[in-house]
Structure 1
Amino acid sequence: MKVLCFWYATEDEINYIKKAMPPGTEVVAPKGDYLSRFDCAYSDVKHLVVDADAIIALSVPQGALELAKKLKVFSWMHSGVDDLRQMGVLSLFRERGVKLANIRGANAVAVAEQAMMFVLALAKKTLFKHQALQERNKPFPLYADEYRSAMLHGRTMGIIGLGNIGSRVAKHAKGFDMHVLGVRRNKGKPVENVDSVHGLDELHSVLAKCDYVVLATPNTTETYQFFGAAEIAAMKRGSFLVNVSRGNLTQEKPLYEALKSGHLRGFAADVWWSYGFGSAFPAGSGSRLKVHMLPNVIGSDDQAANADDVLERNIEWGTQNLAEFAAGKPLTREVNLDLGY
């Protein structure tokens, strides 16, 4: 069996994967000059991919998978597969019978911590008060609406999506004595630390009760831009919205208008928008309405998973996918190619 790494893997990383696989497994990685070692150039993998049985990847060079005629399993070291869908990879795998597995949950700890950082930073006006300190401009008068922090204690948080990230956010919220409401497809399944679980048909009634709303649902054909004007209007006036899932869950224009009008007190996101033609627009250059420039918005531009322990866990779980396949076991984290998760 030949395993190909779609990044400029170190010798230690290659040896880690090889040790986890059956004896005789060949593990290879591209070599060449690079700006980021976690991407790889088509020219550096085209000669390696033609006879690869398995690929473990952090990115996909355009055109490379078309050459992988022997490919049987692809281990994607991310949770979401929307990038693969946009590249036509899911349909290619369906045609060729390739199994796809991801590492959903590998970055859940880091992303859930980021979500709570956002909740606290918005509530406590962290950036505003830090800037006031730097300028030696103490907010006055005391307790004025525009200067007063919000509280978490006794408030209600709504979490849309109760997977690995959402359920961990709920656990953190309980540490702040919050009331937690959850929305998920399967509302009949209880979730620890969630006071009540609701279906998507109850979304608006849940939003009306929440002081904080966290989006943690995967980006699928069902959830693409599902959070729009009606959902924002259903939220409490003065509530906060946090998105740590995918930028395209939310519709940008009604969000911008709600933040400008004060209907929403604040918005935070680790994710931003892409506009349907394959190019992701980072904050600062692509958001059409410059949501990230509003004074009641904070963001981290896809940096939540850039944290201690995450890379090591990504490789560990990505390798587990390949080891399960090689042993003939069901893939614990197999992606349904039709559903996209």
Structure 2
Amino acid sequence: MKVLIGANPMGLEKAMPELQAQYPELEFVHCPNRDETARYIADADIYLGWLNREIFLAAKRLRWIQSPSSGINYYLEIPELVESDVILTSARGTHGACLAESVFGMILAFTRGIRESIFRQQEHLWDNRGIRPKLVELTGSTLGIIGFGAIGRAIAKRAQAFDMRIVAVDVVPQDKPDYVAELWPLERLDDLLRSADYVVVTVPYTPQTEGMIGAAQIAQMKPTAMLVGMSRGGIIDQEALAQALREKRLAAAALDVFKPEPLPPDSELWDLENLLITPHIAGGTQFEGQHILEIFRENLERFLQGRFPLRNQIDKRQGF
């Protein structure tokens, strides 16, 4: 049985000697060049890595794909994969801490004058009187979290330390922590939007969540509120967001994810003064490879023993 580890920036292939020693009956192979993946995957049974339709169609023996990412929408855009018996598992739960930290980095960049101070630094301008009166603290403000999975819960845990009131909505609203004021079903999304000072979007991208934060939803938000997009592009309507920011119907926004990616150089989003853009980097952490390999090792053992479902196994038709 051949296990292929694709090209990746996390150094996942460094685990191969240990894995080979633990499973001598398996063949572990690393493809260092993305352009060569189709050739390497042709006789692979297990694949740890990213792929497109061309690569998937080249795989003749594939039985299980472990995504190194929490998001799996790119895999589900391959109809042959969705229709196949190939198991797909995600790295869900591995990026909670770093994404939560990024959320608060984005919020604090606005509330504590950090973003504006960086601009003034470039101008060699000491603007104490211009920046300080605008600063606000998070104490007593309301944080709304759309999608209360591992990432949403990590955000809520950190919001507690800022003495924020926390409300959340989720498709399965259960196991509410004591420090969360409200955990509602998705049908109460408008209640969250109307009450929150900061709204964070962490739902996965599925046909049901595509465009779920559009003009009508943004219009429900306070004009003093901030919107943060952290999961996948396409969930927030970027045109509606841009219009609301231009017209000052929304105070600020921060996005780490976009549709399409990379964000085109001529996108109007680049020039919005009240929008913070980061290039899909929020999932970065020195522990990323370690977290992914923990899931892969557990799933590999389960797969070989025939213990299903695997951890983070995706219902390919449901999209999560």
* TM-score normalised by structure 1 residue count: 0.86
Which amino acid in structure 1 is aligned with residue 221 of structure 2?
Answer: M
Paired positions, count: 317
What whole-Å deviation, never above 9, does each CA across 1:256-280 have from its counterpart, x for those lacking one?
1111121211101111122xxxxx3
1:55–1:309 Cα change, 3 Å: same
Q: Percentage identity across aligned positions?
A: 27
Equivalent residue in structure 1 for 2:300, among 319, 322, 331: 322
Unaligned runs of 5+ in 2: none
Query: Do residues 72 (structure 1) and 63 (structure 2) align?
Result: yes
What whole-Å deviation, never above 9, does each CA across 1:197-243 have from its counterpart, x for those lacking one?
11111111221111110111111111001101111110011111111
Indicate if the aligned counterparts of 1:259 and 1:265 stay in contact, CA closer than 8 A: yes
Distance 1:10 1:256 in 2: 38
Equivalent residue in structure 2 for 1:200, among 173, 186, 201: 186
Distance 1:201 1:95 in 2: 31
Distance 2:99 2:172 in 1: 23
1:312 paired residue number: 290
Shift of the alpha carbon at 1:18? 2.8
Equivalent residue in structure 2 for 1:55, among 29, 47, 50: 47
Indicate if the aligned counterparts of 1:167 and 1:193 stay in contact, CA closer than 8 A: no
Distance 2:12 2:99 in 1: 26
Shift of the alpha carbon at 1:127? 1.3
Query: Do residues 12 (structure 1) and 3 (structure 2) align?
Result: no
Unaligned runs of 5+ in 1: 35-39, 275-279
Shift of the alpha carbon at 1:192? 5.0
2:116 paired residue number: 128
Equivalent residue in structure 2 for 1:246, among 216, 232, 237: 232
Distance 2:42 2:239 in 1: 45
* SS of equivalent residue, structure 1 residue 93: helix
Distance 1:134 1:12 in 2: 41
Shift of the alpha carbon at 1:315? 2.8
Distance 2:87 2:18 in 1: 22
Distance 2:281 2:83 in 1: 34
Q: Which residues in structure 2 correspond to 1:44-123 (within 5 Å)?
A: 44-57=36-49, 59-60=50-51, 62-86=53-77, 88=78, 91-123=79-111
Distance 1:45 1:54 in 2: 13
* SS of equivalent residue, structure 2 residue 251: strand
Provide the aligned C-alpha RMSD in A.
2.1
Shift of the alpha carbon at 1:167? 0.5
Indicate if the aligned counterparts of 1:247 and 1:272 stay in contact, CA closer than 8 A: yes
Distance 1:10 1:273 in 2: 28
Distance 1:6 1:77 in 2: 10
Query: Do residues 332 (structure 1) and 318 (structure 2) align?
Result: no
What whole-Å deviation, never above 9, does each CA across 1:300-321 have from its counterpart, x for those lacking one?
1111122211122223323332
Which amino acid in structure 2 is aligned with residue 14 of structure 1?
Answer: M
Indicate if the aligned counterparts of 2:52 and 2:75 stay in contact, CA closer than 8 A: no
Distance 1:3 1:283 in 2: 34
Shift of the alpha carbon at 1:49? 2.1
* SS of equivalent residue, structure 2 residue 171: coil
* SS of equivalent residue, structure 2 residue 200: strand
Shift of the alpha carbon at 1:96? 3.2
Distance 1:163 1:334 in 2: 15
1:25 paired residue number: 26
Shift of the alpha carbon at 1:77? 0.9
> Of Structure 1 and Structure 2, which has the larger fraction of its residues in helix?
2
Distance 1:133 1:48 in 2: 50
* TM-score normalised by structure 2 residue count: 0.91
2:176 paired residue number: 190
Indicate if the aligned counterparts of 1:158 and 1:206 stay in contact, CA closer than 8 A: yes
Indicate if the aligned counterparts of 1:187 and 1:198 stay in contact, CA closer than 8 A: yes
* SS of equivalent residue, structure 1 residue 63: helix
What whole-Å deviation, never above 9, does each CA across 1:25-51 have from its counterpart, x for those lacking one?
1101225xx5xxxxx11xx23443222
Query: Do residues 158 (structure 1) and 144 (structure 2) align?
Result: yes
Which amino acid in structure 2 is aligned with residue 78 of structure 1?
Answer: S
Which amino acid in structure 2 is aligned with residue 336 of structure 1?
Answer: D
Higher relative contact order (CA 8 A, sep 6+): 1
1:10–1:221 Cα change, 3 Å: closer
Distance 2:99 2:19 in 1: 25
What whole-Å deviation, never above 9, does each CA across 1:292-335 have from its counterpart, x for those lacking one?
32111112111112221112222332333222211212202101
1:235 paired residue number: 221
